[in-house]
Each structure stands twice: as structure tokens, then as C-alpha cells.
Amino acid sequence: MLIVCFIVTALLPYLLCGINSAIIVTKIKSGEDIRTLGSGNAGLTNTLRTQGKAAALLVLLGDLGKGVLSVILVGVSFRLLAGIDPWAAGCEYEWVLYASGASAILGHVFPVYYGFKGGKGVLVTVAVLLAIDWIPAVILLGIFGLIVAVSKYVSLGSCIAAVLYPFTVLVFGIIEKSPCYMGNFICSGLIALLIIFMHRENIKRLIHRTEKKIGEKKEAEKSGGEK
């Protein structure tokens, strides 16, 4: 049954998180494709800028919900099918929770339902980490919030938090004496690399100081900071 569990880990989060809240909410609200509006990114920030606060709230809840649900469903499948609790202290299969997170981010970023063009994965990553271990999640959220508050760049906060993500997981894994802390580190590192890759254009604009700050009027051309 472990093979079935591994298949669930690989496929279920990908398929679930491929359901893009920003695309659905925008289609219902305005009848448009959010990937043709604003920055062109199917994420929370672009929804807020182009559709307003109410629509952004729905996207926030949708992305957080699908990320948390993905991890929970994978954990439950291991419990029911293999009698293994990935959340149990000292469990050698804890890494599957982070692997399910990587699958979830892939689904959100490259959704099969929408021509493999989705969001940037930051919000889903937060949801995944909250479902696995809330303490590092809160720490990273605090760092993200501080950077955004000081710099006014959402993309800068996202990228720095992404870089710190695997190292935070590693430190907590060592502190908690997890038997698979390196597996957790590798899976979370893959997630971080994917987030950085999806923010590559934002990074270029940050370097050239052309990135849009929070509160700046949105121009017609693509700009960044979306999740």
C-alpha cells in the first residue's frame, strides 16, 4: 500500500492545487481571464489590484485551503492505507509531507487545467508549511511581513522568505531530531528554487529598480510582486 500512498503524494496535491482560485474568482466576477489583466499573473496580488479586496479575500482563502488540504489528504492516506502517521514524532516518513508540498506548488504554478500557466506559489507554500509545522511558518511569515513593510516590495519579501524556507526547515528538523531532516530540507529546497524561478522577472526589476512597490499605480505593462 505504500506504493499507492506515494502515488497519492505525487498526484493528488498537484491536481488539487492546479485548481486556480484567482482564475475562477476573476472569471465569475468580471468574466475575464486574470492572466490577461494587470501583471498577467494568476495570483493574489494581481487579483487585489485588478478585482478588489473581496475577490482577493476569496483567492486568499482558496489558495490557503487547497494547500492545507493537500498535505492533510496525503497524511490521512498514509494513516489509512499504510498505518503510518507522518506527523508523529520520529516518523521516518515525515518527508512525504514536504514532498506533497512540492507537488502542490507544481500544480499551482504549472496547472494542467489552464495550459500550465498559474500563479507563483508563495501563498500555497505558506499553507503547506502551516499544515506541516506552524512554528517555522509563522517565523517566515514574520520575516516576509517585516521586509514588505520596510521595502514595500512584495516580491522581495517573497524571495527572501523562499531562500530562508529550506534552512528554517533544516534547523527545526535538527532541533526536533527528525530522522529525515535532510529529506525535508531537500523537498523544501526544491519548493524554494521553484518560487525563486517564478520570480525571476521580479528579481531583474528589483536589480534595475523598476519593480512596483505596494501602493504604486498599476501600469499597463507587466510588473511584479504577485504570488
Domain assignment present for 92: yes
* CB of 165 closer than 8 Å to CB of 188: yes
* CB of 75 closer than 8 Å to CB of 81: no
Q: How many domains does the chain have?
A: 1
Compute the distance between CA of residue 53 and CA of residue 63 in angstroms, rounded to an integer.
Answer: 15
Say what the pTM is: 0.87
Domain assignment present for 218: no
Q: What does the pLDDT read at residue 217?
A: 53
| Model confidence pLDDT, tens digit, residues 90-105 | 899 999 999 999 999 9
Contact residues for 23 (Cβ-Cβ < 8 A; gap 6+):
33, 34, 35, 42, 114, 118
**Residue 84 region, left (φ>0) first, then alpha (ψ -120 to 50), else beta?**
beta
| Model confidence pLDDT, tens digit, residues 113-160 | 999 988 898 889 999 999 998 899 999 999 999 999 999 998 999 999
Compute the distance between CA of residue 130 and CA of residue 21 in angstroms, rounded to an integer.
Answer: 19
Domain assignment present for 24: yes
| Model confidence pLDDT, tens digit, residues 57-88 | 999 999 999 999 999 999 999 999 999 999 99
Compute the distance between CA of residue 209 and CA of residue 219 in angstroms, rounded to an integer.
Answer: 15
Q: What does the pLDDT read at residue 89?
A: 83
Q: What does the pLDDT read at residue 39?
A: 81
Mean pLDDT of the chain: 90
Q: b/e per residue, 105-130, with b = 16+ CB within 10 A?
A: bbbbbbbeebeeebbbbbbbbbbbbb
Q: What does the pLDDT read at residue 74?
A: 96
Q: What does the pLDDT read at residue 112?
A: 95
Domain assignment present for 48: yes
- Structural domain boundaries, residue 42: 2-207
Domain assignment present for 215: no
Give the cell for residue 186.
Answer: 531537500
Domain assignment present for 88: yes
> Would you give the DSSP letter of residue 34?
G
User: Does residue 100 sit in helix, strand or coil?
Assistant: helix
DSSP 112-165: GGGTT----SHHHHHHHHHHH-HHHHHHHHHHHHHHHHHH--HHHHHHHHHHHH
The residue with cell 505504500 is 2
Domain assignment present for 212: no
Domain assignment present for 143: yes
